[in-house]
């Protein structure tokens, strides 16, 4: 079995401690790889390599078009190795192979999109109010970027950080989740093959409290980008104050899916299932809060429950599998804890709420699709991000009521509105305090549109031209064409 190594200063290396970590398939707990396990010292070595490459190397001053060509080459290599990458992603996360194929297409598109933006960010000329002068605003790379990615979409989330950072001329240190590092390791091989210079991209493997903490604390890191849990995000914010580094945080959500009585009933039911049960609910934008207008509530709940009972759990490599396992035993225990809390708070369990009994699923971290009704906004199961196949259902009577309920959360990542009355839907969308609002749809995203949240879902944006700007600093350059003595102190 191959050993996954770190990539520091253009070399594939093992941790100085010699420690290793086994990577397991959450479907059956089979060991699928062994990777080196780094710590603070390894992070420091990677940071120093990135610092030297930025301060003394040529990447930042390489013509943007040339950087774009290399990033485009990465996209091409991802497409070439799509089969291998998809297989690794499904082994690592337990998701279906169909999902992983789609992820690889999206990842290649992300690199291609930012490659296309490389030479289109030349700044702007400002009309100076001072005679005989010119004024320009330019964007320059931030510097050394620390990038910490989550386990649910390991390579997709990493691509949202890697591609714009490279295009902008930064150097970087990437830290994938310690439990799902395999596709990120593979893409670093592809970046090396594409010709990314020594020291520009660095990969450290290991846990967040050592490897990740060093990236956040280091005075030599200029920007930290983190996708993950809110408590870790708060710690990163505190650590980043060490040198007032730039921060971009995506900290999850508790996303409302609003169904008005005049919505297309069958489509809304279908999308409600997809919103929450896709990838076993392990999606930051999962529509885990279903708010249904009172006049159709009972009928809608019956339809959702009927369809959810049919969801096929299983091996992600089986064609008939619709949902795979949770990521780990610890995460499943967390889900089970929330189910017990919901019962204690008075929510009514109408489906699931337990591990499946099928013999072929006993070795994996499976949990049945679970639905609660009679939910209210003050319940923890409604307020807190569960990150699993758990749907809470609330009812509402008026538009004002549902807007208030939907916004009654510390999060503000995403939400959806379903109605044939487009004027009403647009009005509701305008009043939802969320970074993304879908009207008569749920979950679509693409490289051209920004992604990020309001409130405690974080700040900063990934994707879109704004996602590129996150990795730049703005500089104003003023030139006096006819300098003359001021004469103030004569």
Just list the catalytic residues: 250
* H helix or E strand, kind and range, residue 23: strand 20-24
Q: Which of 424, 455, 419 is nearest to 291 (CA)?
A: 419
CB 139 within 8 A of CB 469: yes
CB 215 within 8 A of CB 173: yes
At residue 415's C-alpha, the angle toward residues 444 and 208, to 5°, is 80
The residues, any chain, with a CB within 8 Å of residue 217's CB and separated by 6 or more, are 239, 242
Distance CA 25, CA 222 (A): 35
The residue with tokens 């709940």 is: 301
DSSP helix/strand/coil, 323: strand
Helical axes 182-194 vs 64-80, angle rounded to 10°: 130
Q: Which of 13, 29, 35, 12 is nearest to 182 (CA)?
A: 35
Q: Which of 157, 202, 207 is nearest to 177 (CA)?
A: 207
Q: Which of 219, 242, 202, 204 is nearest to 50 (CA)?
A: 202
């Amino acid at each position: 079995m191959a050993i996954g190594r770190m990539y520091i200063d253009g070399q594939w290396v093992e941790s100085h401690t010699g420690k290793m970590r086994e990577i397991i398939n959450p479907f059956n707990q089979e060991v699928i790889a062994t990777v080196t396990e780094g710590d603070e010292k390894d992070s420091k070595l990677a940071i120093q390599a990135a610092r030297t490459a930025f301060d003394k190397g040529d990447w930042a001053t390489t013509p943007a078009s040339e950087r774009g060509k290399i990033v485009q080459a990465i996209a091409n290599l991802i497409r070439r190795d799509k089969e291998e990458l998809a297989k690794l992603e499904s082994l690592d996360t337990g998701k279906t192979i169909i999902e992983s194929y789609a992820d690889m297409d999206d990842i290649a598109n992300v690199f291609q999109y930012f490659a296309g933006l490389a030479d289109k960010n030349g700044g702007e000329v400002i009309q100076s109010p001072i005679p005989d002068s010119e004024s320009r605003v330019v964007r320059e790379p931030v510097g050394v970027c620390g990038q910490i990615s989550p386990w649910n979409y390991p390579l997709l989330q990493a691509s949202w950080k890697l591609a714009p950072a490279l295009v902008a001329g930064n150097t970087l240190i990437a830290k994938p989740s310690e439990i799902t590092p395999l596709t990120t390791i593979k893409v670093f091989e592809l970046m090396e093959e594409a010709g990314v210079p020594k020291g520009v991209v660095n990969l450290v493997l290991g846990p967040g409290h050592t490897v990740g903490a060093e990236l956040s604390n280091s005075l030599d890191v200029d920007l930290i980008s983190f996708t993950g849990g809110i408590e870790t995000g708060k710690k990163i914010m505190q650590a980043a104050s060490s040198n007032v580094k730039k921060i971009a945080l995506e900290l999850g959500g508790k996303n409302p899916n609003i169904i008005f009585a005049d919505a297309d009933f069958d489509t809304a039911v279908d999308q409600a299932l997809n919103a929450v049960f896709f990838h076993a609910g392990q999606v930051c934008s999962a529509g885990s809060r279903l708010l249904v207008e009172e006049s159709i509530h009972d009928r809608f709940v019956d339809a959702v429950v009927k369809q959810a009972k049919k969801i096929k759990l299983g091996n992600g490599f089986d064609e008939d599998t619709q949902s795979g396992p949770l990521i780990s035993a610890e995460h499943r225990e967390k889900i089970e804890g929330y189910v017990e809390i919901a019962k204690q708070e008075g929510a009514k369990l109408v489906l699931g709420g337990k591990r499946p009994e099928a013999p072929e699923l006993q070795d994996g971290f499976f949990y049945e699709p679970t639905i609660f009704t009679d939910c209210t906004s003050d319940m923890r199961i409604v307020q807190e991000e569960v990150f699993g196949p758990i749907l809470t259902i609330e009812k509402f009577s008026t538009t004002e009521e549902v807007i208030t309920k939907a916004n009654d959360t510390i999060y503000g990542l995403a939400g959806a509105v379903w109605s044939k009355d487009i004027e009403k839907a647009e009005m509701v969308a305008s009043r939802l305090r969320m970074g993304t609002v879908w009207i008569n749809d749920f979950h679509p995203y693409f490289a051209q549109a920004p992604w990020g949240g309001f409130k405690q879902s974080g700040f900063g944006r990934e994707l879109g031209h704004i996602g590129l700007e996150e990795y730049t600093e703005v500089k104003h350059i003023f030139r006096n064409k006819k300098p003359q003595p001021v004469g103030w102190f004569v």
